[in-house]
Amino acid sequence: MENPLTRLSEQPVETEFPAKCPVGAPRDWQAFAKVKLDSLTKPPGSLGRLEEIVAKIISIREQERPTCANKAVYVFAADHGVTDEGVSAYPKVVTQQMVRNFLANGAAINVLARRARAEVIVVDVGVDAEFEPHERLIDKKIRRATRNMATGPAMTESEATAALEVGRTLAQEAQFQNRDVVAVGEMGIGNTTAAGAITAALSGKPVAEVTGSGTGVSPQGLVHKRHIIERALSVNGVNQNSSPFDVLRKVGGLEIAAMTGMLLEAFEQRIPVVIDGFISTAAAALAYGIEPRARDVLFAGHVSEEPGHRVLLEYLGLDPILNLGMRLGEGTGAVLAMMVIEGAVSIFNEMATFSSAGVSGAL
C-alpha cells in the first residue's frame, strides 16, 4: 500500500508562513529556515544537526528551496621541498603517482565521489612532474614544488599570490557553473609538515601538540618531523604575530594557498564549501585569518586523527559533521559529509508539513 506521506513528500511543500519581508528589509534566512523546519511532520529540533546544517545552507545560498544536485570536489595537488628533510614515510614521487590514480578513477576519493554523485576535479598547482592533458585535470602549476621551508621561505610573495589567485578563479568558475556545494581536498607528500607549521603559528601551541604522524612515520620519525617544523618556524621568524599571508608563504604549500584562495572567493560568491581534514582546514584557518567572515560558508566535513586538526577546528569554531577516525585526505571525509548535507536539504525540501499530511501538531 502506498504511503501517503511518501507521495505527498514528492510534491512541492506549501508555504504556511510569511515568505516575504517588508520591502527594503533584509531577509532573515535563519528565521525562515526554522519556521519551515518546525512546520514539518516531526517534533521541533528532532533532526538535530541536520536542521542546523540545512539552515546554514539556506543562509549561504539565500534560497527557499536549495538543491545539492551539482556537486564537485576539487583535489589540489602540489609537492613540498621540505620532503628533502625526510619528514614523510612515503617518497615525493607518490604525489604524481596519486594524481594519475585520481585521473584513472582508482583512488578512494573517486569511489566516494561516485557514490555522492560529485565530480572530481584535480588541480595541479605545484606537482614536480608534467602530466598529459586530461578533461578532469586543471593545470595551474606555479612551480614544481615549494622550496624547503626548513632553510627559508617556501614561496615568494608572487608565487603565494599566484596560487591564491588560482583558487579564487576556480571559485568564480564554480559559481558560473552553478555549483550547489563544493568540497576541497588535497594531495601532496610532506603537506602535514606544512599544516603542522601553520597550526603552530596560528594557534601559538607547541609544535609537539599539533603535529602527528601524517602518512605514518615512526615514533623516531615523528620526533624528527617536529624538529624540522620548529626549525622552519625559527628560520622564517614565523609565530602568532605573523600575518596569515606571511605564515602561508613561508611555511605553507602551493596547494594550501590555492585552497585558501578558493575559500576566500567562495565567501564572496556565496558557495557552501565542505573542508576535509588537517590540510584543507589549515587553508580554512588561513582564510579565516585573512577574512573572518569566510567561516560563514564553511562546513567541517569530519575530524581526522591528526592532533592539529582538532586545534584548527577549535580555532575556527566549527563542529565536524563526521568522526570516523580517518586521516587520508584527498577530500574523502568532505565528500562523505556532502551526503549528509544533501540528506538534510532533501528533508527540508521534500518532507510533508503537518498541514499537508493532515497530521496533528503538538498540544
DSSP 201-268: HHH---HHHH---TTT--HHHHHHHHHHHHHHHHHHT-STTS-HHHHHHHH--HHHHHHHHHHHHHHH
Residues contacting 223, CB < 8 A, separation 6+: none
What angle do helix axes 278-290 and 191-203 make, rounded to 10 degrees?
40
Contact in structure between 256 and 236 (CB atoms under 8 Å): no
Residues contacting 352, CB < 8 A, separation 6+: 5, 8, 9, 13, 40, 41, 359
Catalytic residue among 159, 186, 265, 330: 330
Contact in structure between 201 and 239 (CB atoms under 8 Å): yes
Reading phi first (left if > 0) and then psi (alpha if -120 to 50, else beta), residue 123 is in beta
Least Cα distance to 103 among 127, 123, 125, 117 occurs for 123
Q: How far is CA 166 from CA 66, 134, 259, 261, 298, in A?
A: 27, 18, 9, 7, 19
* Known catalytic residue at 173: no
3-state secondary structure of 142: coil
| Alpha helix segments (H runs only) across the chain | 4-9, 29-39, 49-61, 94-103, 108-116, 157-176, 191-203, 207-210, 219-236, 244-251, 254-269, 278-290, 307-316, 332-350, 354-357
Active-site residues, by number, are: 330
